[in-house]
Amino acid sequence: MLKTESKTSIKTKLLILAIMFTNSNLFSYDEGIAKSGNIEIYYRDYGPADGEPILLVQGIGGQLINWPQHLIEFLIENNFRPIVYDNRDTGLSSRIQNDSFNKDNVNKTIIRNYIRYYLRLPIKSEYTIDDMADDGVSVLDHLNIENAHILGISMGGMIAQIMASSYPEKTKTFTLIASTASTPSPFNGPSKDVRRLFIERTKNVDATIEERVNRTKKLFKLIGYQGIDLDTQEFSDNVKLSIERGGVDDTGFGRQLTAILGSKNRIEKVRSISAPTLIIHGKEDPLIGVKNAYRSNKLIKGSKLVIIDNMRHLIEPPVFDQFKSDLLAHLK
């Protein structure tokens, strides 16, 4: 049976909210909690209330504060209403409690799941990508939004595919960034170096903050835009902020990874997507290979595909500048 716990007390959430406001720079926003069954989903609504709602769905381990400021600013400036949220098992949303993923057992569980992954055997997960899609829809329902533009990146793109296919009436447009319509396999999944860092993260859930900062830096150097300096105090401070906001327990990453590997094939659902769709992918993506974008483009009738030559898996300013006009035309 699924068990959950609220990530923080109301007092702690209010304290974090105050901290977030002091770090919001250009933006003001509202934050709150939507209920998805017995799961609490923590969200941020940038407004304005009369803007076109666009729901942004984060990737594995990502928090609502990890969306790039330049993307949020671009959307607001063009009369959109960005709404972001913490997926279950990240940030201030509920954590799923399960003995298989406690600090003592998580490594064994992940190794066992990876073995089954490579053998193409079924994997039992605590929840599915479909469940996570319902979480996102609960945010829209909580805010009384009938329909919205849906944008998902990486795992968030997988979640958004289910939203767009299962809730067509709620989907104005669909934007898929650096994602895949298939469950990752040994043939279309992350590169060897990326897999090694994923295993390291799930293996060492009690790593110190400095160890986690260094681990994140290694990952971003692999999956991020070449030439951006990550050896800066700003990068370290941002990673530490995410770690402190998300808490010291890093087992949620393993549960999200298992949800990806253990969810049913989405091909037919993706094929049924009828919303106007824009697919953006990096030619050099080492986490989700570019061939996945071509496949999604074939599956979704009428979709537009944009391949960025020097993009990997993230949307840094030099990358975003190359597709923001396509995004705006698509959303308009």
Among the residue ranges 62-71, 215-224, 268-277, the one predicted with the least confidence is 215-224
Give the CATH number for residue 200: 3.40.50.1820
Q: What is the pLDDT of residues 12-64, one digit of tens each?
A: 343 333 333 333 445 789 999 999 999 999 999 998 999 999 999 999 999 99
The predicted model gives 203-215 an average pLDDT of 75
Residue 178, CA distances (Å) to 59, 152, 224, 288, 308 in order: 10, 9, 12, 7, 10
Residue 211: which pLDDT band, with cuts at 50, 70 and 90? confident
Place of tokens 């681990």: 215
As beta bridge partners, residue 96 has: 4
How many domains are there within the chain? Answer: 1
Percent of the chain with pLDDT strictly greater than 90: 54
CA 312 to CA 309: how far, in whole Å? 9
Residue 206: which pLDDT band, with cuts at 50, 70 and 90? low
β-bridge pairing 304-308 and 95-97:
unpaired
The encoded tokens of residue 222 equal 């692999």
* pLDDT of 193: 65
pLDDT at 312 over 50: yes
For the chain, list the strands marked E by DSSP: 3-5, 30-36, 39-45, 52-57, 80-85, 95-97, 148-153, 171-177, 277-282, 304-308
Residue 89: which pLDDT band, with cuts at 50, 70 and 90? very high
Residue 157, Cα to own-chain centre: how many angstroms?
Answer: 7
* pLDDT of 263: 78
Residues 153-181, buried b or exposed e (16+ Cβ, 10 A)? Answer: bbbbbbbbbbbbbbbeebbbbbbbbbbbb
Average pLDDT of the chain?
84
The predicted model gives 312-322 an average pLDDT of 94
Report which of 319, 332, 325, 329 is spatially closest to residue 153, judged by C-alpha positions. Answer: 319
Q: What is the pLDDT of residues 96-144, one digit of tens each?
A: 876 555 555 655 676 677 677 667 777 778 899 999 999 999 999 999 9
* pLDDT of 296: 96
What one-character DSSP code corresponds to residue 100?
A: G
* pLDDT of 221: 83
Residue 278: which pLDDT band, with cuts at 50, 70 and 90? very high
* pLDDT of 90: 93
* pLDDT of 86: 97
- Evaluated on CA atoms 97, 125, 157, 54, the torsion sign reads negative
Write down the pTM of the prediction. Answer: 0.85
**41: containing domain:** 3-331
